[in-house]
Amino acid sequence: ELKVEQNPLFLSMQEGKNYTIYCNYSTTSDRLYWYRQDPGKSLESLFVLLSNGAVKQEGRLMASLDTKARLSTLHITAAVHDLSATYFCAVASDSNYQLIWGAGTKLIIKP
């Protein structure tokens, strides 16, 4: 069974701290996506990772992909309240050519 596991599922942290969200997957894949969802809103694309070793950064967020370990990370540096949201990873499966979604990580950043 194809699985995408995110952890943690819930994270409450202080402003100014660093933290990492993990996305593990069980299928072979060389592309992975990160999305952000604000409460009550739709999903917004954050990062597209298309190869092993890919690293993308925007502001305080940095995403990376290790296809050998079947792992992607979303690192938050010096968190600010505006980054509070739910973050989803989605893995493109080589076996059935579909996106497999993680359950999402709800991130709350306290002042």
Partner 1 sequence: SQTIHQWPATLVQPVGSPLSLECTVEGTSNPNLYWYRQAAGRGLQLLFYSVGIGQISSEVPQNLSASRPQDRQFILSSKKLLLSDSGFYLCAWSRPGAGLYNEQFFGPGTRLTVL
Minimum distance from residue 98 beta carbon to partner 1 (Å): 5
Q: Which is nearer to partner 1, 22 or 101 (CB)?
A: 101
HEC readout, 11-23 = EEEECCCCEEEEE
- 69 to 30, 56, 74, 77: CA distances (angstroms): 11, 18, 15, 23
Name the site residues for partner 1 (rule: CB under 8 A): 31, 33, 35, 40-45, 48, 88, 90, 92-93, 97-99, 101-104
Q: Which is nearer to partner 1, 27 or 77 (CB)?
A: 27
Q: Which is nearer to partner 1, 14 or 28 (CB)?
A: 28
Task: Report the C-alpha gap between 21 and 1 in whole angstroms.
Answer: 23
